[in-house]
């Protein structure tokens, strides 16, 4: 990879999907702004927050997309999912239904997002609300499913600020690997530059 490609600013697109009410907005805001509120409104369509982090010695900007978890907004998935470098599947550990829905969300992402290599695309599974005593999905059950789909599992609580950093750090690292892989494929080892004088550049045919 050329030095120019290696040193170029990197922006990674991280998508959060899952049923409505599982805490996608809460987790994202806790990570970016270090705050929590019970007053979040349901996400309409999608929401975007950005955070600059250091991953493997490189500065990257995470564009974290929080998506609506309702069926009437799923049609937005096609343009929203495309170009993602990592997908975080979020569920509520106190809701079996939200966990069971992850398989459909994952399949929908693979269809609508059209990742270049579906078998190698990174998924991070995140169980939220571990602070609650009404748990319905065990850690073992979640780990078993993650093993089946070759995904990494994290759990925590946005409310209590537990386990918030690790899943995003891992998503950033996995996303950076995807970025490097496909940037190298797209750029190869050559670069075409136009060296025509500025005043004649409008007629340049290179």
Encode pLDDT of 176-189 as tens digits.
Answer: 999 988 776 554 44
Mean pLDDT of all residues in 18-37? 90
Confidence band, pLDDT 50/70/90 cuts, at residue 73:
very low
Given a contact cutoff of 8 angstroms between Cβ atoms, the answer to whether 67 and 16 are in contact is yes
Q: How many CA atoms lie within 13 A of 190 on its CB side?
A: 1
3-203 domain in CATH 3.40.50.300? Answer: yes
pLDDT at 185: 56
pLDDT for res 69: 54
Phi, psi (rounded to 5 degrees) for 37: -145, 150
**Phi, psi of 158, deg, nearest 5:** -65, -35
The DSSP 8-state label assigned to residue 146 in this structure reads H
CA angle 136, 86, 186 (to 5 degrees): 165
Those residues with Cβ within 8 angstroms of residue 148's Cβ, 6 or more apart along the chain or in another chain: none
pTM: 0.80
Please give the mean pLDDT across all residues of the chain. Answer: 82
């Amino acid at each position: 990879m050329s030095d120019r490609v290696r040193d170029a600013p990197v922006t990674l697109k991280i998508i959060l999907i899952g049923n409505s009410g599982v805490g996608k907005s809460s987790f994202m805001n806790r990570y970016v702004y270090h705050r929590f509120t019970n007053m979040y409104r349901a996400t309409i369509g999608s929401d975007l927050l950005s955070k600059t982090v250091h991953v493997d010695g490189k500065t990257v900007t995470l564009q974290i997309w929080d998506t609506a978890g309702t069926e009437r907004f799923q049609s937005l998935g096609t343009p929203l999912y495309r170009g993602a470098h990592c997908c975080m599947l979020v569920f509520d550990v106190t809701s079996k239904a939200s966990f069971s829905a992850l398989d459909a969300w994952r399949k929908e992402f693979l269809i609508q997002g059209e990742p270049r290599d579906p078998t190698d695309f990174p998924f991070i599974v995140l169980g939220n609300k571990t602070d609650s005593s009404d748990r319905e999905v065990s850690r073992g059950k979640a780990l078993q499913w993650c093993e089946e789909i070759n995904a990494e599992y994290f759990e925590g609580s946005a409310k209590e600020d537990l386990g918030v950093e690790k899943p995003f750090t891992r998503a950033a690292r996995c996303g950076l690997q995807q970025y490097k892989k496909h940037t190298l494929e797209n750029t190869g080892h050559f670069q075409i530059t136009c060296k025509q004088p500025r005043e004649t550049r409008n007629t340049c045919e290179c």
